[in-house]
Amino acid sequence: MNAGGATASTTLWRHPDFLKLWAAQSVSSLGARITREGLPYAAVVSLGASPAQIGILAAVTRAPAIVVGLMGGGLVDRRRRRPILIGADIGRAIVLASIPIAAWSHVLAIGQIYLVAALVGALSVLFDIADHAYLPSLIGREQLVDGNSKLAVTESVAEIGGPALYGVLFQLFTAPIAIAVNAGTYLFSAAALASIGVGETPTPGDPAASRGHFVADFRLGLRTAWADPSVRTLLIVVTAGAFFGAFFSALYIIYAVKVLHLTAAMLGATVAVGGVAALFGAGVAGRVIARFGLGPTFAVSAVIAAAGSIFVPLAHGAPFIAMAMLTISQLIGDSVGTVTEIAGRSLRQSLVPLGLMGRVGGAFAVAPGVTGILGALVGGALGGLIGPQATLFIATAGLTAAAAISLASPLLRRAAP
């Protein structure tokens, strides 16, 4: 039984509490995209950050995943998830508001950007763990693909509007103003979540959920994920991919701005095109999954999305030509990658017991968090030694190899949960 009272035949368009959750995520996702581009852009343009410093910024953004993943999983499983979501939104709004305040006071420094990135990263990881655990109890497992597809539409629209809005705000005003707009989006999200009327149904009998040490919580989550061959493969692919994906986090902005000479508006437009592609991916994901199954869809789409990143290091020449190459990568990666995300998330939510969803989510935060930090530091260092372009070629090869692990796994036989 699900908390929202929807049956398999009930459309989520008529599920008022899901629509409130959707509205909250729509606005906060838009703001998150502004911050994702805004913090590194502010560091590069306003403070003249080096490749190594951008690598550190990417690392400190990912570092909280380890701490929050270790401690947050049990917290999410022992408490109602919606108050955690609301608190994370309010916390992110307060932390981000410090950036424009410092900028207007002429005291903004790279150290503060590091601190803000770390705190926002921590709250975002906690939000994601609680969000993944909350959705099945709100709409029921039978509607997970539909629910995740609709939420992915939100992410896609945010990918379209967020970077483009950031580019315009930065072009007309400054990066701190763009970040101030983001703080407001989190407050709206918190208000929308608070308006959800149906209370959460307690998770079914999990004796370990009543108490436990965070290390024991993490071990239980990791053990649960590792016990199922399909969930184990998801964890391996995500963890390996996070290492090489962090190369892009460390170098993409500096490569686009310093090497390819794209303006803020051009960069925002490029990422926005990827959002259109992601919107298409979200729209077709349900049909693709229904045709091929969750596991095969994840495995094949993960490889295609990873291979599509090759067009980033291939980009060269005049800014508009380079922008076209980056756009091709966005079109492939965002459309197919959205299908990958929906299939993987739905598969994990379908296979993991509700009472362990938070702790398994912690394992999925910690393992990629560790490799992501290492990848950001290695990518930033390599970018300084051999250049951003060569480093991004290495990243593409690594991402594709990591995704290919799923092709030799039980996922290809996991047509349905």
Structure confidence at residue 404 (pLDDT):
94
Percentage of the chain lying above the pLDDT 90 cut: 17
Helix (H, G, I), strand (E, B) or coil at 185: helix
- Model confidence pLDDT, tens digit, residues 188-247: 889 988 888 766 655 544 444 445 577 788 888 889 999 988 899 999 999 999 999 988
Please report which confidence band the pLDDT of residue 9 belongs to, taking 50, 70 and 90 as the band edges.
very low
| Closest alpha carbon to 150 in 33, 287, 276, 13 | 13
Place of tokens 């379908």: 350
Structure confidence at residue 205 (pLDDT):
43
Place of tokens 């503060």: 112
Structure confidence at residue 6 (pLDDT):
43
Please report which confidence band the pLDDT of residue 403 belongs to, taking 50, 70 and 90 as the band edges.
very high
- Model confidence pLDDT, tens digit, residues 304-351: 999 999 999 998 888 889 888 999 998 998 899 989 988 988 888 888
Structure confidence at residue 308 (pLDDT):
92
Alpha helices in 140-228 (DSSP H): 144-172, 175-194, 214-227
Q: What are phi and psi of 30, to 5 degrees?
A: -60, -45
223 or 355, higher pLDDT: 223
Alpha helices in 195-310 (DSSP H): 214-227, 229-254, 264-292, 294-307
Structure confidence at residue 199 (pLDDT):
60
By the 8 A CB rule, do 6 and 143 touch? yes
Report how far residue 415's alpha carbon sits from residue 297's, in angstroms, rounded to the nearest whole number. Answer: 9
Question: pTM here?
Answer: 0.69
Structure confidence at residue 28 (pLDDT):
76
Average pLDDT over residues 70-79: 78
Percentage of the chain lying above the pLDDT 70 cut: 85
Average pLDDT over residues 273-280: 81
The full set of domains in the chain, from first to last, is 14-200+213-413 (1.20.1250.20)
Structure confidence at residue 21 (pLDDT):
83
| Closest alpha carbon to 312 in 270, 371, 272, 368 | 270
By the 8 A CB rule, do 227 and 135 touch? no
355 or 337, higher pLDDT: 337
Report how far residue 232's alpha carbon sits from residue 411's, in angstroms, rounded to the nearest whole number. Answer: 10
Average pLDDT of the chain to the nearest whole number: 81
| Closest alpha carbon to 49 in 5, 97, 6, 110 | 110
64 or 319, higher pLDDT: 319
Average pLDDT over residues 153-166: 66
Task: Give Cα 257 to chain centroid, integer Å.
Answer: 23
Please say if the pLDDT value at position 112 is more than 80. yes
Average pLDDT over residues 365-380: 85
Average pLDDT over residues 65-72: 77
Structure confidence at residue 401 (pLDDT):
95
Average pLDDT over residues 101-112: 82
